[in-house]
Structure 1
Amino acid sequence: MHPRLTPVLSILICAASLLPVAGQIKPESKRLSIQDKFTALPYGSLSIGGFIGEKIDLCIDHRVMAQDIERLIAPFRLRNDEFWGFRSEFWGKWFTSAMLGYGYTPTPAHRTIIDKAVKELLLTQTADGYIGTYPDEHHLKDWDIWGRKYVLLGLLAYYDQVKDPKILDAAERVADHLILEAGPQSGVNLAETGWIGWKGLASSSVLEPVALLYQKTGKQKYLDFAEHIVQLWNKPNKLTPTGIRLVEEALNETPLWEMSGAPKAYEMMSCFEGLCELYRITGNHDYLKASQLLIQSIIRDEIMLVGSGSLAEIWCNGKMRQNDPMYQGLETCVTVTWMKYLYQMLRLTGESRYADQLEISLYNALLASQTPNGEWWSYYTGLMGERVPSHLQFPDVVMSCCVANGPRAMLLSPSWALMASADGIAVNLYAPMHGKFQSPGNQSFTLDISTRYPVTGKVEATLSIPRKERFSIHLRIPGWSRNTVITINGQRYRQKTVPGTYATLERVWSDQDKIEISFDMTSYVVDAPSGVPDAAIQRGPVVLAFDSRLVPFRHGVDVPPMYRYSFMKNKDRSIDVTLVENPPVKEIWMTFQVPVTDEAGMRHELPMCDYASAGNSWKEGNLFRVWIPQPFDFRHLYINNLGWRINVTDNAPRPEIPAMYQKEKDLQ
């Protein structure tokens, strides 16, 4: 087993705190019409090593558990938000990731942090149940309901693990107060509240915690409120004469940028996360079908090569435009919500295509958004230019929406990496891992995975189980792996592996059975969807990019003898890249030598790296680029030929993590 995966004593110390409390309300399953095909493992059941495990640990240690809690709580005490105030979202965004981090590493120190965060927040709850940052006269305006949504999500995340009935009661009081102000009997159309620009989407997304609250309490008033919110989507209001019609237009496959509501990517997907939870309760097939069709539209029209979308935070037919220079492209909040939405659909359907998309987003857009030491995040993550740390939206809180949100997707990874199914287990993420399971026959067993994936395509998994038992292991076969070979104890798996599906290995498993997988890591040249002669390279789930640290050509400096180059692709559009085992730049995870031809037809090799590492010096201002004109010219590749406004001189100012945050770290 990988040395990083050695069980930690503190996990055992805290395990009791994660057990359900006897005598509580009936199990959620009694209130659900639909059971998930795949479910996350119990908290504390999984350890991840390797590159992804390191990034998870850095996120927990340097961002989530290093948070100054007082800064997040202060706005709830002051309640002085008015126009454009959304400080109320920060506690809930941060806290939901803190609960994921605690569930992954439930140490006493982490328990102290989450307990303090909840205690301090509840001290701000008013007698009528309100927890928010707005004065009474500004309730329901701008981002007030949006903030209450995140308060509820945070409280419910704490209750899920700690099972303290006082926390559930506090969450109910928050919801009851909202129902009083904006429920069916209030005379208020919730879908026309909130900031006018996003046409009720932000407020409508409170559907998710309201549905979750019904799942946990079984109280009809919360289901009624949830259904009321969805019904409001089809009613005309002062912001949208036709209503935002989310379900109807998703079912009709209306282009996202033409939907009646605002095409705000983050808030729209948040509404559909709530719709997924409501589907679990009601079994209304239209809710599932609408969620599936919307996600198909997003993949078809918006998701770019690196697994995210949006321009200036809105849907924009971005898949066709992704090779253009983008100002404010690929917001981190969009990446996070996209991954959370995919996770919902993976749970509900058990379809591997959602895990495929999760993997691409994780290895590219998400990893690229986190600073190398895990302490900060970018606001936008483009496909060329520089990596720029997020600005501070509210200096008093020392936070931005994307810095608060990024860890939620990173720390969601253990939830979908290995999952349980009715007939066994599913392997969705290939990384060094140690997972603990309960078999269909109710015996405990473990699965240890050893691999360098996706650096290479070799994966080895070993089962440890007390007694022989028949069950299924579902192995995700990525859609990009055209030829996958599986062996069990050295014997080749005889059934055909189909890319984009699960290979279901159903057999009687014995102790120390070994599964070996060889994925096809062939690289391919991808043409720009817009039809212009631009190209990119994808190797497995990883997108490649040029980085000026590897190819340091600048105008008038170190210009190579031949100016124009083209990727040297084969007839099937594959390209024979070579992995560099010892990358020349230590901050870069993977480096490859890529064959190109010059104007004279001569072959050369040029270095490219994984997209997540491209530009990741952050403070040095190195430039990167994914989409490459064919042929390309290094005299212009990194400079202003496409309108970049980037100064690449040695004395150019470099982006930095906000100075106030650095000062806070120094004081600590």
Structure 2
Amino acid sequence: MPRTRSALPSPQFAASVDQGGTPIGPVRLGPGARTALRPGVAALHPGFWHTRREVNALVSLPQGPGLLESAGNLHNLRLAAGTAEGEYQGSYPFVDTDVFKWLEAASWQIAQHSDGDEGLEAEADRIIALVAAAQQPDGYLNTWFQIRKGGERYQDLRWGHELYCAGHLIQAGVAHHRATGRTELLDVACRFADHIDSVFGPPGSGKPIDGIDGHPEVETALVELYRETGEHRYLDLAGYFVDRHGHGLLGGEAYCQDRVPLREATNVEGHAVRQLYLLAAAADLATETGEAELRAAGERLWGAMTATKTHVTGGLGAHHDEEDFGDPYELPNERAYCETCAAIASIQWSWRMALLTGEARYADLIERTLYNGFLAGVSLDGERWLYVNPLQVRDGHTDLGGDQSARRTRWFRCACCPPNVMRLLASLEHYLASTDDGGLQIHQYVDGHYSGDVDGAPVSVSAETDYPWHGTIGLTVEETPTEWPWTLSLRIPQWCREFRVRCGDTSYDQTDAPLSDGWLRLERAWAPGDQVVLELVLDPRLTSADPRVDAVRGCVAIERGPLVYCLEQVDHPGGGLDDIVIDTTRPLAVKHRPDLLGGVTTVVAAGNRRHIPDAGWWPYRTAESTDAPAADESLELTAIPYYAWANRQDGSMRVWLPTS
């Protein structure tokens, strides 16, 4: 039986820093990084995200080893290590990554120094020893090829995922080293990276293979390994892999980012997760090398993606077939793919672009994706998952099960998403704040503590808020140099149309606030105890899509603050949701429901259920049809946050609501 939250101590999530005060997280800039911002430090106090991380720490992460055991992932490592007998378990060549992502997640959690982490660290040590035993003497490690393929290597770069697996192993090794200071897993990662560096290289390098992996991932991992070790050839190797995409090495397909070189691309395309991992690596390279062309490509492609290929939830991927972005403005509802891993990759890329450019728009997308497209991927109890995140489940939906189910699942045959969610939640504090030589920037609002180094001096600010349910964020300066001024920058979200801020004796609103690139910048000589109160007005709103989005023309979505809302059948007895129409002439109301879904604020709207006469054997009519009009039944519509859907009973759901 899984352990319940009530039976365990509640972890206190401390700020993750190493002994030198450097933030511990997935991105640690190199000494020569050309970036506008540096990752800051944050700690979460009890509140919205603290609760989600608590469930991750006390339920999801502890269950990981058992699930990896039952799925055969750990058995495969024992086969490769020669300590077990039997058949290989699993249908894919990348099942090792489920282990590596769990190890990364466990490492970020261990870095929190929370109560109860001793058992987690012991489990991580056990699995790290198993990974090290499975590695071959020359550094190669992939159980699929070692066991199923008789030791053949790099014969199927398009589908084999050997470098993709290596990337996740490297990221786990870096995370474990940052969290513990120990090198057992980092040594495994370096041996594999050294092996790859001895095999792959451009024509004329004297290396046997000029090639890339069909699933980008190793590129951003190699940049981080360079940052961790100072070994520049890892950065060079990452640059080589990024540069060789788009030159036909895998057949020239958009699916695996091989149709056009990244620097020439004008829009994101192909497999969404693969594209986004590659772009995260490009942002890392631009940060470390200062290459303007790579930065320009990242800005151009991010802008095209958000303008034409991003769902209102922040979800990405229109096609189930090939997990593909689809065409511009092709944003379906019930067939939306919006893989949970794509949401995670989007956050990773946007964070790197935020650090590189200093622009708040990247944090805007992170917020939208975190609260909606990402968080929907895990159940409120932390035990069940969504691989795909549709925006509508129709009445009478027939679910085929499997990895692409519209119902929450305990685990998947392709279990890439659950440990990916675990590692993002375990490192969430890394994405909340940043610093530069002029001040501290708060990207995401949580009840907690933000700190960093400003021009060599420590600064820290505490925050009290019930965001996203309420829009008041109270900030108190706790540590500051008093001899010179610095700037506290607060992100004003893209969705916010009305706000107020009080800073000492000065008040601002949206008409006269000192805004710059989405930041409210407050510069002064601060003193401990100084207070700032930011009030973001959270009135519910109706959102419509660009008219080129055919799937939702004539529809609206309900939003409040950073949250996208949806209807669920369970809240609307007497019928389904396919016949629901919202009345946009009636005001929206807000009702907090502490008894519902762990405590949520619902939005109540007026609407109708249209009882449409049966069309007979043919579901089409002429535009001039004189059939009797549908009978309307007045209905109160209860909308819940999208992240909380599919946590009660199976049934229909929809985000976009017809207006007629």
Normalised by the size of structure 1, how large is the TM-score? 0.79
When residues 466 and 275 of structure 1 are mapped into structure 2, their CA distance, relative to the original with a 3 A threshold, is: closer
Alignment match, 1:92: 100
Summarize deviations over 1:253-280 as a string: whole Å, max 9, x none.
Answer: 53434xxxxx011011111222222223
Tell me, in whole angstroms, the C-alpha distance in 2 between the residues paired with 1:244 and 1:309. 16
Residue pairs, 1:508-527, within 5 angstroms: 508-527=525-544
Give distance in 2, aligned partners of 1:551 and 1:371: 21
Q: How does 1:84-483 map to 2 (within 5 A)?
A: 84-107=92-115, 108-109=117-118, 110-133=120-143, 134-135=145-146, 137-140=151-154, 141=156, 142-165=160-183, 167-184=185-202, 185-191=206-212, 200-202=213-215, 204-237=216-249, 239-240=251-252, 250-257=262-269, 263-310=270-317, 311-312=319-320, 314-317=323-326, 320-326=329-335, 329-385=337-393, 388-390=407-409, 392-394=411-413, 400-440=415-455, 442-443=457-458, 446-465=460-479, 468=482, 470-483=485-498
Cα-to-partner distance string for 1:412-445 (whole Å, 9 max, x where unaligned):
43112233332221111122113344454624x5
* Deviant stretches of 4+, over 6 Å: 7-12, 241-247, 597-604
SS at structure 2 position matched to 1:325: coil
**Structure 1 residues without counterparts, runs of 5 or longer:** 1-6, 23-27, 192-199, 258-262, 570-574, 632-668
Q: Which moved more, 1:421-430 or 1:495-504?
A: 495-504
- Do the aligned partners of 1:336 and 1:408 also contact (CA within 8 Å) in 2? no
1:52 pairs with 2:49: yes
- Specify the SS of the correspondent of 1:137: coil
**Cα pair 1:58 1:375 within 8 Å, conserved:** no
Q: Kindly report which structure 2 residues correspond to 1:15-94, keeping only aligned pairs within 5 A, or say none.
A: 18-19=18-19, 31-41=31-41, 45-68=42-65, 71=69, 72-79=73-80, 84-94=92-102
Amino acid at match of 1:19: Q
Q: Are 2:309 and 2:328, in contact at CA under 8 Å, matched by a contact in 1?
A: yes
1:608 to 634, 639, 644: 639
Q: Quick one: distance in 2 between partners of 1:486 and 1:324?
A: 38
CA displacement 1:328-352 (0-9 Å, x = unmatched): 6211111111111111111212211
Worse-superposed segment, 526-535 or 236-245: 236-245
Secondary structure at 2:461 match in 1: strand
Q: For the Cα contact (< 8 Å) 2:11–2:54, is it kept in 1? A: no
Specify the SS of the correspondent of 2:525.
strand
Q: Provide Cα deviations, 1:197-239, integer angstroms capped at 9, x if missing partner.
A: xxx431x431122222223333343233223223322533352
Instruction: Output the CA distance in 1 between the equivalents of 2:565 and 2:30.
Output: 47
1:301-341, Cα deviation, whole Å (9 max, x unpaired): 21100111112263344773435421x62111111111111
Q: 1:546 to 1:189 in 2, by over 3 A?
A: same
- Give the direction of change, closer, same or farther, for the CA distance of 1:320–1:467 in structure 2 (3 Å limit): closer
SS at match of 1:486: strand
Q: Report the Cα distance in structure 1 between the residues aligned to 2:311 and 2:44, rounded to whole angstroms.
A: 30
CA distance in 2, matches of 1:8, 1:626: 34
Give how far 1:163 is off.
3.0
| Percent of residue pairs identical | 19
- Please say which of residues 414-423 and 601-610 is displaced more in the overlay: 601-610
CA pair 252-29 structure 1, distance change in 2 beyond 3 A:
closer
Q: C-alpha displacement at 1:381, in angstroms?
A: 1.1
Listed one character per residue, the Cα deviations across residues 29-70 of structure 1 (whole Å, up to 9, x for unaligned) are: 6653424513132xxx51242122101110122112332177
Letter of the structure 2 residue corresponding to residue 57 of structure 1: E
Match of 1:546 in 2: 567
TM, length-normalised to structure 2: 0.79
Give the whole-Å Cα distance in 2 for the aligned partners of 1:476 and 1:628: 30
Decide whether aligned partners of structure 1 residues 247 and 499 sit closer, same or farther in structure 2, where only a CA change above 3 A counts.
farther
C-alpha displacement of 1:186: 3.0
CA contact (8 A) 1:423 1:440 kept: yes
2:256–2:271 CA contact under 8 A, matched in 1 = no
Cα 1:212–1:417 shift into 2, 3 Å: closer
Q: Which residue of 1 aligns with 2:626?
A: none
Deviation of 1:509 (Å): 1.2
Aligned-partner Cα distance in 1 for 2:234–2:531: 48
CA contact (8 A) 1:234 1:243 kept: no
Partner of 1:646: none
Residues 34 and 281, structure 1, Cα contact 8 Å, conserved in 2: yes
Q: The residue matched to 1:375 in structure 2 has which SS?
A: coil
Counterpart code for 1:411? A
Letter matched to residue 295 of structure 1? W
Q: Which amino acid aligns with 2:294?
A: Y
Distance 1:318 1:449, change over 3 A: farther
Superposed displacement of residue 605, structure 1: 4.4
CA contact (8 A) 1:567 1:630 kept: yes
Asked whether the 8 Å contact 1:253–1:297 carries over to 2, the reply is: no
Alpha carbons of structure 1 residues 243 and 56: separation in structure 2 relative to 1, 3 Å? closer
**Aligned equivalents of 2:392 and 2:608: distance in 1?**
23
Give the structure 2 partner of residue 661 of structure 1.
Answer: none
- Separation in 1, partners of 2:516, 2:575: 42
Contact 2:65–2:123 (8 Å) recurs in 1 = no
2:524 to 484, 507, 514: 507
| Residues 308 and 335, structure 1, Cα contact 8 Å, conserved in 2 | yes
Is this contact kept in 1: 2:566–2:642, CA < 8 A? yes
* Alpha-carbon distance change, 318 to 628 in structure 1, aligned in 2, over 3 angstroms: farther
Amino acid at match of 2:334: P
Local SS of the residue matching 1:138: coil
8 Å CA contact 2:583, 2:607 repeated in 1:
yes
Equivalence for 1:3: none
Q: List per-residue Cα deviations over 1:473-494 (Å, max 9, x = no partner).
A: 1100011111211101353147
Instruction: Please say if residues 526 and 537 of structure 1, whose CA atoms lie closer than 8 Å, have aligned partners that are also in contact.
Output: yes
CA separation in 2, counterparts of 1:365 and 1:33?
31
- Contact 1:546-1:625 within 8 A present in 2 as well: yes
Match of 1:626 in 2: 655
Aligned to 1:612, the other structure's residue is in SS state helix
Partners in 2 of 1:145 and 1:603 — Cα distance?
57
Aligned to 1:4: none
Question: 2: distance between equivalents of 1:33 and 1:586?
Answer: 44
Q: Is the 8 A contact 1:479 1:500 kept in 2?
A: no
Please give the alpha-carbon distance, in whole angstroms, between the structure 1 residues aligned to 2:644 and 2:58.
21
Change (3 A) 1:595 1:584: farther
Asked if the contact 1:486–1:492 (Cα under 8 Å) also holds between the matched residues in 2, the reply is yes
Which structure 2 segments of 5+ residues have no match?
1-8, 23-27, 81-87, 398-405, 611-630
Distance in 2, matches of 1:419 and 1:21, equals 14
Per the TM alignment, residue 78 of structure 1 is displaced from its structure 2 partner at its CA by 2.0
